[in-house]
Amino acid sequence: MTVLIKGGAVVNADRTFNADVLCSDGRIVDIGEGLDAPGGATVVDAGGQYVMPGGIDPHTHMQLPFMGTVASEDFESGTAAALAGGTTMIIDFAIPNPQQNVMDAFNEWRGWAQKAVADYSFHVAITWWDESVHEDMGTLVRECGVNSFKHFMAYKGAIMADDEILVNSFSRALELGAIPTVHAENGELVFRLQNALAETGMTGPEAHPLSRPPECEGEAANRAIRIAEVLKVPLYIVHNSCIQSLEAITRARNEGQRVFGEVLAGHLLIDDSIYRHPDFEVAAAHVMSPPFRSKEHQDALWRGLQAGNLQTTATDHCCFCADQKAMGKDDFRKIPNGTGGVENRMEVLWHHGVGTGRLTMNEFVAVTSTNAAKIFNIYPRKGSISVGADADIVVWDPEATKTISTKTDHQKVDYNIFEGMQIKGCASHTISRGKVCWADGKLDVERGVGNYVNRPPYAGYYSALKIQAERARPVPVER
Ligand code: URP
Ligand code: ZN
Ligand code: ZN
Task: Check if 61 has its Cβ closer than 6 Å to any atom of ligand 1.
Answer: yes
Task: Say what the pTM is.
Answer: 0.97
Helix (H, G, I), strand (E, B) or coil at 414: coil
Task: Check if 183 has its Cβ closer than 6 Å to any atom of ligand 1.
Answer: yes
Task: Indicate the top mutation candidate among 316, 332, 339 to test ligand 1's pocket, ranked by most ligand atoms within 8 A of CB.
Answer: 316
Mean of pLDDT values over 127-152: 98
Cα 21 to Cα 11: distance, rounded to the nearest angstrom: 12
Above pLDDT 90, what percent of the chain? 95
Task: Check if 325 has its Cβ closer than 6 Å to any atom of ligand 1.
Answer: no
pLDDT of residue 203: 97
Task: Check if 337 has its Cβ closer than 6 Å to any atom of ligand 1.
Answer: yes
In three state form, how does the secondary structure of 143-206 look?
HCCCCEEEEECCCCCCCECCHHHHHHHHHHHHHHCCEEEEECCCHHHHHHHHHHHHHCCCCCCC
- CA of residue 466 to ligand 3 center, whole Å: 31
Nearest-10 Cα torsion for 107, 27, 58, 428? -130
- CA of residue 262 to ligand 2 center, whole Å: 11
- CA of residue 363 to ligand 1 center, whole Å: 26
Task: Indicate the top mutation candidate among 239, 288, 319 to test ligand 1's pocket, ranked by most ligand atoms within 8 A of CB.
Answer: 288
- CA of residue 378 to ligand 2 center, whole Å: 23
Query: Which of 9, 81, 13, 7 lies closest to 406 in space, CA to CA?
Result: 81
Above pLDDT 70, what percent of the chain? 97
For the cut 80, the answer to whether the pLDDT of residue 467 exceeds it is no
- CA of residue 46 to ligand 3 center, whole Å: 35
Q: What is the CATH number of domain 53-383+453-459?
A: 3.20.20.140
Residue ID of nearest Cα to ligand 1 atom 9:
316
For the cut 70, the answer to whether the pLDDT of residue 38 exceeds it is yes
- Tell me how far the alpha carbon of residue 366 is from its chain's centroid: 14
Task: Check if 13 has its Cβ closer than 6 Å to any atom of ligand 1.
Answer: no
Cα 203 to Cα 333: distance, rounded to the nearest angstrom: 8
pLDDT of residue 477: 72
Contact between residue 16 and residue 398 where contact means Cβ atoms under 8 Å apart: no
Cα 110 to Cα 270: distance, rounded to the nearest angstrom: 33
For the cut 80, the answer to whether the pLDDT of residue 252 exceeds it is yes
- CA of residue 385 to ligand 1 center, whole Å: 32
Angstrom distances, CA of residue 76 to CA of 81, 114, 143, 432, 434? 9, 8, 25, 14, 19
pLDDT of residue 471: 74
Structural element, H or E, at residue 136:
helix 131-143
Ligand in nearest proximity to the CA of 65: 1
Cα 82 to Cα 85: distance, rounded to the nearest angstrom: 5
User: Cis link prior to 290 (omega < 30° from 0)?
Assistant: yes
For the cut 90, the answer to whether the pLDDT of residue 460 exceeds it is no
Domain range list for the chain: 53-383+453-459
